[in-house]
Amino acid sequence: MSRLKLKKTSSRVFFLFLFCLAMLSTGISFAQKQTKKDLENKKKQLQAEIEKTNQLLNETKKNKKLSLNQLVMLNKKISVREELIATINGEISELNKQIVENNESIKGLQNDLAKLKSEYAKLIYYAYKNQDAYSRLVFIFAASDFEQAFMRLKYLQQYSDYRHKQAERILSTKKNLNEKVQSLEERKSDQRVLLSSQEVEKHNLTSEKTEKEQVFSELQQQESKLKKDLEKKKQDAKKLQQAIQRIIEKELEKQLSQAPKGKPKSQKLILTPEAQLLSSSFATNKNKLPWPVAKGVISERFGTHPHPLMPNIDINNNGIDITTNNGSLTRAVFDGEVTGIANIPGAGQLVIIRHGDFLSVYANLKDVYVKSGEKIKTKQNIGSIIFDEDDSKTVLHFEIWKGQTKLDPEGWLYKNN
């Protein structure tokens, strides 16, 4: 009897081990699926961004005159293409891991199946040797007392159940093995598709870099003109910042003039409860705000960075520039109130919308559809964007401020517009 109990205990430990191993494998598989899904989503987003950049680049190329915007769009497309190739490499790496793990799982299942079949064969042999009812009855009635007879009867029943379960485990292991083999073939097929896609993207990248070098070389011959354009852009940016600052100061002056006598004057806006609620709501929507255009790509990022043609010259951007299609409109990124409209000579108009403690700025506008003090809803059109005929480009300049601090708008916008 002690030998029987030992065998039963060992079997339980063995199957508990198998159960834990299965659960661990399921968890790993789930994590991999999540990673694979993330990579696939990112790949789709990058492919969509390349498509948008291609459309804008083709629009620029309609003008036979070579422009800096063409170089900017090429740089953007090359950057996204390189990220796409890196993402495909990540997918291939994940697939390689899964293929290795599938191979190991198949080997393990094959070993388990061999062991189960061997054990089942022994059970069948034992059952054959003791198949007649007389032997079983003798075994039961040979017990020294009723309790021992009962235990022997239970043993025979458990033995029979165990034999059936072993048969079920063999069938289950065979099924798992077949599924793993099929999964392995699918992974290998996916791998072949990805490797082919990778080669295509590398070929496209090489072509785009060659085109960029040609454009870069031709534009270098126009360096003097481009320096004049850059100087004008700097002056326009300075005028824009001055206009924004004047609007902010005007609001402060208005508030100070309305403050009760004897009350200490603050150098920042005091928000009403309604404005505080709007400010909190705006803050919680970081990374979720809709884009200020229906379609577009970021052609110049926030902060200081080298000029695309003249690396020794830095460009400082207090917001981001979004290149979009000719005829595009700009729209509000959140509910708010138009706090100021200004005209910048030679650089179009700008609109500032207040969202509690935050401001959103829309510049380089041709026509403005709103007026100062007007309540604005999210995605409401507020103006049309200037089309630059010389460079064949339509660019919105967009900024976000908190109080008097400039923020990087890219970190506030939804990642896939």
pLDDT at 12 over 70: no
Token pair of 206 as six digits: 């090489």
Question: Which stretch of 32-46, 308-322, 386-400 has the lowest confidence by average pLDDT?
Answer: 32-46
Please indicate, yes or no, whether residues 250 and 192 belong to a single structural domain of this protein.
Answer: no
pLDDT for the residue numbered 97: 82
Please indicate, yes or no, whether residues 174 and 286 belong to a single structural domain of this protein.
Answer: no
Q: What is the pTM of this model?
A: 0.65
Q: Report residue 269's pLDDT band, with 50, 70 and 90 as the boundaries.
A: low
Please indicate, yes or no, whether residues 78 and 194 belong to a single structural domain of this protein.
Answer: yes
Confirm if 120 and 174 have CB atoms less than 8 A apart.
no
Range of the domain at 403: 223-259+270-411
Please indicate, yes or no, whether residues 241 and 372 belong to a single structural domain of this protein.
Answer: yes
How far apart are the C-alpha atoms of 8 and 14, rounded to whole Å? 10
Please indicate, yes or no, whether residues 212 and 318 belong to a single structural domain of this protein.
Answer: no
Please indicate, yes or no, whether residues 406 and 380 belong to a single structural domain of this protein.
Answer: yes
Selection from 82-86, 225-229, 367-371, 403-407 with the highest mean pLDDT: 367-371
Please indicate, yes or no, whether residues 48 and 60 belong to a single structural domain of this protein.
Answer: yes
Residue 54: inside a domain: yes
Please indicate, yes or no, whether residues 72 and 215 belong to a single structural domain of this protein.
Answer: yes
Residue 59: inside a domain: yes
Please indicate, yes or no, whether residues 180 and 244 belong to a single structural domain of this protein.
Answer: no
Torsion of CA 91, 94, 99, 105, to 10 degrees: -150
Please indicate, yes or no, whether residues 213 and 245 belong to a single structural domain of this protein.
Answer: no
pLDDT at 290 over 90: yes
How far apart are the C-alpha atoms of 142 and 152, rounded to whole Å? 10
Contacts of 218 (CB under 8 A, 6+ apart): 66
Residue 265: inside a domain: no
Residue 416: inside a domain: no
pLDDT for the residue numbered 272: 76
| Alpha carbon distances (Å) from 284 to 20, 96, 131, 312, 406 | 41, 39, 74, 39, 18
pLDDT for the residue numbered 260: 57
Please indicate, yes or no, whether residues 350 and 404 belong to a single structural domain of this protein.
Answer: yes
Q: Structural domain tally of the chain?
A: 2
Mean pLDDT over residues 198-225, rounded? Answer: 84
How far apart are the C-alpha atoms of 111 and 278, rounded to whole Å? 64
CATH number for the domain harbouring residue 304? 2.70.70.10
Residue 264: inside a domain: no
